[in-house]
Amino acid sequence: WQACIDQLAQELPQQQFNTWIKPLTAQVTDDFSRVTLFVANRFKLDWIRAQFASRIAATLEKLYGQPIQLELVLALREVPARPLSTASSPELGPAPEPAEMADDAAPSGFKNRLNTALTFDNLVEGTANRMARAAAMHVSGTPGHLYNPLFIYGGVGLGKTHLVHAVGNKLLADRPGAKVLYIHAEQFVSDVVKAYQRKTFDEFKDKYHSLDLLLIDDVQFFANKDRTQEEFFNAFEALLAKKSHIVMTSDTYPKGLTDIHERLVSRFDSGLTVAIEPPELEMRVAILINKSRQEGAEMPEEVAFFVAKNVRSNVRELEGALRKILAYSRFNQKEISIQLAREALRDLLSIQNRQISVENIQKTVADYYKIKVADMYSKKRPASIARPRQIAMYLAKELTQKSLPEIGELFGGRDHTTVLHAVRKIAAERQNVTELNQQLHVLEQTLKG
């Protein structure tokens, strides 16, 4: 449960986390199949069920590597709920504002919202994040000059949030007086909504337009929020005019964002845009070894390789796997070995093997590239078909235990050398072509559910 809490603390805007998730207590059955959460009152219970339950369950399932049943119950001592504000907002709908949320409205001391645990020191470098890391380092050293704004994009769990916190922490270490703010885009939306409801735009502007460094996370959340986009645009222009730095993250590159005004998108792209890629094998190994050391355990290299080969999607999942192994090792008082890792990750490994079939890959890839599944077996050769077919062959080799001839057979009786050619070609291109790598990442995530 603590691991789940830690995870959500990173994913959710701080205020939401503090209000809804942090106060929860949990009881877990011995076999991890059922988790009961105790909630203080009826109002919170309904809200958590509606807003967070599926996310909590999904996080727990990832951590435990098995399906769980989540149950919400009222804690025995009922805390009387405060009457709700009836104010509604144009963007968040009639969002309830429970007592705990209100304190943010008071002109309290300025909080930078940085998580001091996320630094450059503990962010492992690899090919996948080298560019982004170097650019971020540069910005934290000499903000307001090059690469403004810095736009960092990549899939979930690849270290974007970690990297932007690192920028803020480094700048503050060098210049303790600097005015730095980390904010998740969702939180920014709610700040705009509040300023709008309370007519406190002057305060809002004071807060945002006076920063030296604005770190804003997951800007894809601005989609369809017109008012927010306008306010962000104003803040953006004000900050750049006074040479303050802006660092943004998103799950996609600026032009790939949907429902965000063109003038904003072009601003996003006007500094430096860099990708963080899924970590390559060596980097995954280094991360595992590093993180186990931080936990006071030593993971032998061969074990790290075994885990890194089997857990490929992102760093967050890598951390989940590591946590399981460490817990298993401590609990059973056994040394960390491949055998132990196999046992600790049994569920995770079997899920991977069970779910992904070549048929599944063919269908997923065909859907993604909008071609017919039948074209996976056909003899057609136009690039619009041949290429997705090669990508599917590559994924079949990567994600299933099938041999090259077996894969060839499943792709309309092709020769194994054809499959080999496809596998090599896509593997090589993946190293160099960012967009292809992103596409493959999406496909892999989809296939792994």
> Per-residue contact track with ligand ADP, 229 to 258, x per CB under 6 A?
------------------------------
Q: Which is nearer to ligand ADP, 118 or 167 (CB)?
A: 118
Write the DSSP assignment of 349-406 as a string of letters. Answer: HHHHHHH--HHHHHHHHHHHTT--GGGGTS----HHHHHHHHHHHHHHHHHS---HHH
> Per-residue contact track with ligand ADP, 265 to 294, x per CB under 6 A?
----------------------x-------
Phi and psi for 394 in degrees, rounded to 5? Answer: -60, -45
We find the least distance from the C-beta atom of residue 7 to ligand ADP, in angstroms, to be 8
With binding defined as CB under 5 A, does residue 187 bind Mg ion? Answer: no
Q: Which two tokens stand for residue 45?
A: 């219970």
Q: Contact, 179 vs 210, CB < 8 A?
A: yes
161 is in an annotated binding site: yes
With binding defined as CB under 6 A, does residue 158 bind ligand ADP? Answer: yes
With binding defined as CB under 6 A, does residue 26 bind ligand ADP? Answer: no
100-119: contacts with ligand ADP (CB under 6 A): 118
Number of residues that bind Mg ion (CB under 5 A): 2
Q: Which long-range contacts (CB under 8 A, 24 or more apart) does 113-119 make?
A: 113/14, 113/181, 113/182, 113/183, 114/165, 114/168, 114/169, 114/172, 114/180, 114/182, 115/10, 115/165, 115/182, 116/169, 118/161, 118/162, 118/165, 118/166, 118/169, 119/165, 119/166, 119/169, 119/170
For residue 51, give the 3-state DSSP assignment. helix
Q: How many residues in total does the chain contain? A: 449
Q: Which is nearer to Mg ion, 161 or 352 (CB)?
A: 161
Q: Which is nearer to ligand ADP, 112 or 390 (CB)?
A: 112
Q: Which is nearer to ligand ADP, 231 or 319 (CB)?
A: 319
Q: Select from 33-41, 154-162, 166-174, 302-310 the region that touches ligand ADP (CB under 6 A).
A: 154-162
Q: Which is nearer to ligand ADP, 251 or 347 (CB)?
A: 251
Burial per residue of 164-178, b for 16 or more beta-carbon CB atoms within 10 angstroms, e otherwise: bbbbbbbbbeeeeeb
Gap between the terminal Cα atoms of the chain: 22
We find the least distance from the C-beta atom of residue 17 to ligand ADP, in angstroms, to be 13
Among 44, 160, 207, 323, binds ligand ADP (CB under 6 A): 160
Q: Which is nearer to Mg ion, 160 or 291 (CB)?
A: 160
Q: What value does the CA radius of gyration of the chain take, rounded to a whole number of Å?
A: 24
Among 161, 250, 352, 400, binds Mg ion (CB under 5 A): 161
159 is in an annotated binding site: yes
Among 15, 16, 19, 129, binds ligand ADP (CB under 6 A): 129
| Residue ranges of the binding site for ATP | 157, 159-161
- Which residues contact Mg ion by CB under 5 A? 160-161
- Which residues contact ligand ADP by CB under 6 A? 10, 118, 122-124, 129, 154, 156-162, 287, 315-316, 319
